Amino acid sequence: MLRRILAALCAALCMMGTLAGALAGGADEYRIEVDIANQITTVYRCSDGAVARQMICSTGLDDTTPRGTFHLQKSRAADRSEWYFIGKYQCFVKYPTRIQGSILFHSLPYADDDMSALDPEAAALLGQKASHGCVRLRWQDAKWIARNCPDGTETRIFTGATDEQALRKLLLKRGFSVDNGMSYERFTASIQPEGTEGLGRGDTGDEVKALQGQLQRLGFYGGAVTGEYDRATTLAVMRYQSARGFSPTGFATRPVLRRIMAEE
């Protein structure tokens, strides 16, 4: 019920944003929110308030990222291009989308217009305040915004009041996109519950390989044994949990893991 209320509220806010967006550039498909407290950027679909994409980000040090409601704009020919040189800081970024003035959505910085020249320090700080005011993203997320959120798209930047540490941990491993075929509810269902141990979305390694192999042998998993706890693994765990009377969260707690690995 609460989820429906929040979705309805977001849809209403999007409707209001559509009117303002029409004045700014006619964009009404998506609405963007940047939560500075949690370093999370979320794109909502205006038609129904659903989350279309959610990603970890890095905003500005010393409160240099402005708060407020803006509408995406284009003031330079190179905006939204694959590579963009920021002369003031002598670095390249990918897929810049202008929020206001010199404040952009863009990728992590690079020393050159080459994928191998990623700034390792900036990459290590993703999810923390680290920029000069822009909103840094993984390049895939910056590209998605540049390609899907046209000029006029409403963008709200605010200081969130709710601590979203569990969601942050998940987004640091892997962002959410509706393009991947998984609902947002299923994506967030695989968040590691506070105070529990186990395997969940974004985990990798030999233990995940063993889990995939066993689920495959039991007939719940049809994918490749990759060692990556991805969408297919999450759905396989959910199928197993449903079949064995567990709550189908997609997160494999230690009791669930022991039960899976013990089955003949």
Give me the residue spans of the domains in the chain.
Answer: 2-178, 190-262
Among 14, 46, 57, 134, the active-site one is 134
Superfamily of domain 190-262: PGBD-like superfamily/PGBD (1.10.101.10)
106 has catalytic annotation: yes
What is the second-level CATH architecture of the domain 2-178? Beta Barrel (2.40)
Q: Give the HSE-up count for residue 108: Cα atoms under 13 Å, Cβ half-sphere.
A: 22
Task: Give pTM, 2 decimals.
Answer: 0.71
14 has catalytic annotation: no
Q: Which two tokens stand for residue 5?
A: 């209320």
Among 10, 57, 106, 149, the active-site one is 106
Q: Give the pLDDT of the chain (264 residues) as one tens digit per residue.
A: 334 444 444 444 444 443 333 333 346 899 999 999 999 999 999 998 999 999 999 999 999 999 999 999 988 899 999 999 999 999 999 999 999 999 999 999 999 999 999 999 999 999 999 999 999 999 999 999 999 999 999 999 999 888 888 889 889 988 999 998 888 888 887 676 666 788 887 788 999 999 999 999 999 999 999 999 888 898 899 999 999 998 888 889 999 999 999 998
Question: Is the torsion defined by CA of 206, 210, 215, 221 positive or negative?
Answer: positive
